[in-house]
A = this chain, B = another copy of it.
Amino acid sequence: MNTTEHLARNERLSERLTTSGFRFTPQREHVYALLLQKRDHPTAEEVFIRAKRVMPDISMATVYNCLDALVKCGLARQVTLERGAARFCPNMQEHCHFYCDNCESVFDIGLPAGAGVPLPKGFRAERFDVTIHGRCPACSNGKK
């Protein structure tokens, strides 16, 4: 990544954090950069492992704290696809997740325009989470 992008990213991060009442910290910067770098919907544990390669003293509690701050300030989504660890996704465009029940990988899938669910009176929707379970192309070919 070049310096311009880097600066732009940090400016966005800093602004979002601040307007949500959070502080900009090296740990949050690092965790956010990691999320953007490899968009494979890692769990907190996986983020922790990646983070330690560059920042060996970072703790698990901090990783949770950073991820939660990113979610709360609108720069990442938390995805709970199945029993077990939550995953994190920095793609904030409207999209849904395809979870391969065979290989357990997660794919971002675009949503058709106008997708939405009419709600009964009184409900106020804040966000939609759409998950599709099935087989990804690699696992579709007759494999168990």
Chain A residues with a Cβ under 8 A of chain B: 78, 80-83, 86, 96, 98, 101, 107, 109, 111-112, 115, 117-138, 140
Per DSSP, chain A at the interface is mixed
In the complex, the 9 A-B pairs of residues with the closest C-beta atoms, listed nearest first: A122-B137, A126-B134, A125-B134, A129-B131, A124-B135, A80-B80, A124-B134, A124-B140, A125-B132
With A83-B78, A86-B83 already in contact, the answer to whether A119 and B132 are too (CB < 8 A) is: yes
Tell me how far the C-beta of A28 lies from the nearest C-beta in chain B, rounded to whole angstroms: 19
What are the residues of chain B within 8 A of A96 when measuring CB–CB? 117
Contact for A123 among B126, B129, B135, CB less than 8 A: B135
> Are A125 and B133 CB-contacts (below 8 A) given A109-B119, A117-B112?
yes
The docked-state distance in angstroms from the alpha carbon of A122 to that of B133 is: 13
Instruction: Please pick, from B81, B83, B123, B127, the residue contacting A140 in the complex, using a CB distance under 8 A.
Output: B123
Report B-chain residues with C-beta under 8 Å of the C-beta of A80: 80-83
Which of the residues B117, B122, B127, B131 comes within 8 Å of A111, measured between beta carbons? Answer: B117
Across the interface, do B137 and A129 meet the contact criterion of CB distance under 8 Å? Answer: no
Q: How far is B126's CA from A127's CA once the two chains are assembled, in angstroms?
A: 23
Q: What would 16 A/B residue contacts be, using CB atoms closer than 8 Å?
A: A78-B82, A80-B80, A83-B86, A107-B123, A109-B119, A112-B117, A115-B115, A115-B117, A120-B137, A123-B136, A123-B137, A125-B132, A125-B134, A127-B132, A127-B134, A131-B131
